[in-house]
Amino acid sequence: MRIYQHALFLALAFLAGCGGTGSPTAQDATAFIAEAESKSNDLWHEMAQAQWIASNFITEDSEAVSAAATRRAIEYGVTLAKESARYDGVEVADDVRRKLNMLKTGLTLATPADPAESKEATEIAARMEGIYGRGAYCPGDPKPCLDINEITRIMGESRDNAELLDVWQGWRTVSPPMREDYTRFVELSNKGARELGFADTGAMWRSKYDMPADEFSAELDRLWEQVRPLYLSLHAYVRTKLQQRYGVDVVPSDGPIPAHLLGNIWAQDWSNVYPLVAPAGADPGYDLTRILKSRNTDALQMVRYGEGFFTSLGFEPMPATFWKRSLFVKPQGREVVCHASAWDVDNVDDLRIKMCIEINAEDFSTIHHELGHNFYQRAYNQQPLFFRDSANDGFHEAIGDTIALSITPEYLKQLGFINTTPDASKDIGLLMQRALEKVAFLPFGLLIDQWRWKVFSGEITPEQYNQAWWDLRLKYQGIAPTGARSDAEFFDPGAKYHVPANVPYTRYFLAAILQFQFHRSLAEAAGCPATGDTPLHRCSIYDSKQAGDKLNAMLQMGASRPWQQALEQITGSREMDATAIRDYFAPLQAWLDEQNAGKTVGW
């Protein structure tokens, strides 16, 4: 999945604190918030620009500048979080209370009060991200080093078991140097969180969801149980097909799937194995990657297509600075962090995306996703500064993916990419392709933070980092490594960007649930399912002003209301509901159950 530059966290992380003595009053609280909001933006802008440079020009100097700016930001944020606690017992206006609560729960890294330890934490954070960004697998002469893009390409295209295992293992040589840093980072991060009154950093992360932390954990379990049967059916079918390709000695009939055979470095998206698992006769008759290349589509035009989707809904085009300042193509002669991300550099309209675009179907979808962040960021830019964010972080991720669900044959026909849409007999293939991306991701989206929360709480010790990582991947995903992955030698969690970059991951699981709930509601607004002849998975909201109006009404709310109210604005319900996923994939679920008859489901 992808990240965006999380505006509220950063806004919260750099504000100047206000001291005070005596019993605080409501007037004091209001003045405190007003002063914090008035002072925040310059420091935010400085840090965002420093981080942009560090991601686009990876050097020791850029890392140092970024670390210094981030350290100043976080130190102010910690001060402000501590000051906000002074007003816990004061009766204040609802909007002031919401902002005070956000200040206490909005950090992802709370550095310790000790200046030396604060400096050490931010330097470690910058160093780990730099290690990841420079990461490459160098097998040695005469073979050249492979960066993450080249490894990603091999993982997606190769069908050679030995080659896949080699590059899979090779990428994981990047992360062991982070292990000692990460262990120390956990210690420092937890110390800062405890100084704010939280049990640990994981508890701090879970406290931001407009509900008690324990209830939030239970909510995640409930949602996973709603979708788990669909995942188990997909897993069993894919395992059978992979066994047919690689043999029973490589892929067992009733055990976990080898992690290197699923077409993705992290086995979080199985789309690339579609040719091996495609239903017979399900070819839709077009290949989006081939179409894009045949039209000589370049990176800029790829982004123009994404922008065009949003303007068809009634949104204004991106500002001129977006096209001038974004990074669309990997530059020659310098190292950059190619991981796709969307940025809101000034909390108003300096919007950008950063990615090394490849001309293929995956990046076509990714662009729609990243622009979803940018259009959301602009929609709420009239809110007070502290409310310039999504209702919860899952919402931000869900918006872009909701739009990507509308990349249907009907949409491609409207763009002129295809002349006719495939008939209903091809839908199982189309649903299979989407399930390999969306359904396969669900347990991965859940387990990343399950591991980190246990690490932060001390339930998983440094001596157990790798074993616990693979225990969770087996429990939730039903995958396993080929060969031993000892804790003494490996640190496989660090091979996933969001771990060294300290980016919370539960947002992606929530987004995977919410996007289908949003899509079902917006499709209804567009009049799609109501016609009776277009199933939910064929609906596209492209060019629907009614859907655009409904979407924009929610986007403009930003974080000004609890996420339950924002959810109600767009869906009519205050509860997250995974039944929309089951509705969307219902024809595929029935087909999978037929294919799996007589076979083991589970591991």
Chain-centre distance for alpha carbon 134: 21
Q: 497 falls in which pLDDT band (50, 70, 90)?
A: very high
Judge whether residue 362 has pLDDT over 90: no
Judge whether residue 41 has pLDDT over 80: no
Look over the chain and give the mean of its residue pLDDT values, rounded to a whole number. 91
3-state SS, residue 174: coil
Burial (CB < 10 A; 0-12, 13-18, 19+), residue 214, is exposed
Closest CA to 74 of 32, 137, 11: 11
Burial (CB < 10 A; 0-12, 13-18, 19+), residue 211, is middle
Its sign, for the CA torsion 497, 376, 440, 262, is: negative
Judge whether residue 9 has pLDDT over 80: no
Structural element, H or E, at residue 554: helix 545-555
Percent of the chain whose predicted confidence (pLDDT) is above 90: 77
Distance CA 526, CA 312 (A): 12
pLDDT for position 12: 37
pLDDT digits (tens, 9 = 90+) for 233-252: 999 999 999 999 999 999 99
**Exposure on the CB side of residue 142, measured as CA atoms within 13 A:** 0
Q: Cα torsion for 169, 174, 175, 179, to the nearest 10°?
A: 130
**Exposure on the CB side of residue 367, measured as CA atoms within 13 A:** 27
**Cβ-based neighbour number of residue 88 at 10 Å:** 12
CB 479 within 8 A of CB 262: yes
Strands 146-147 and 136-137: antiparallel
Q: 15 falls in which pLDDT band (50, 70, 90)?
A: very low
Judge whether residue 17 has pLDDT over 60: no
pLDDT for position 532: 57
Q: 533 falls in which pLDDT band (50, 70, 90)?
A: low
**Exposure on the CB side of residue 501, measured as CA atoms within 13 A:** 22
Phi, psi of 352 (to 5 degrees): -150, 160
Comparison of pLDDT for 163 and 84, the residue scoring more: 163
Q: Give the helix ranges, DSSP H, for 315-426.
A: 320-325, 361-379, 393-404, 409-414
According to DSSP, residue 404 is labeled H
> Mean pLDDT over residues 156-171, rounded?
96
Which of the residues are catalytic? 339-340, 369-370, 373, 397, 498, 508
pLDDT for position 530: 57
State how far the alpha carbon of 525 is from the alpha carbons of 92, 115, 271, 548, 555, in Å: 38, 53, 30, 9, 16
Comparison of pLDDT for 425 and 497, the residue scoring more: 497
Judge whether residue 381 has pLDDT over 90: yes
Q: 281 falls in which pLDDT band (50, 70, 90)?
A: confident
Judge whether residue 19 has pLDDT over 60: no
Q: 265 falls in which pLDDT band (50, 70, 90)?
A: very high
SS3 letters across 43-80: HHHHHHHHHHHHHHCCCHHHHHHHHHHHHHHHHHHHHH
Q: Which residue segments constitute the domains of the chain, with CATH numbers given?
A: 3-131+179-206 (no CATH), 140-173 (no CATH), 288-423+506-584 (1.10.1370.30)
Percent of the chain whose predicted confidence (pLDDT) is above 70: 96
Judge whether residue 275 has pLDDT over 90: yes
pLDDT for position 14: 32
Dig out the tokens for 109 from the structure: 């890294």
Segment among 177-191, 205-219, 546-560 with least mean pLDDT: 205-219
347: left (phi over 0), alpha (psi -120 to 50) or beta: left
Query: Hey, which bits of 152-297 come out as E strands?
Result: 257-258
Q: 């931000």: which residue's tokens?
A: 396
pLDDT for position 534: 77
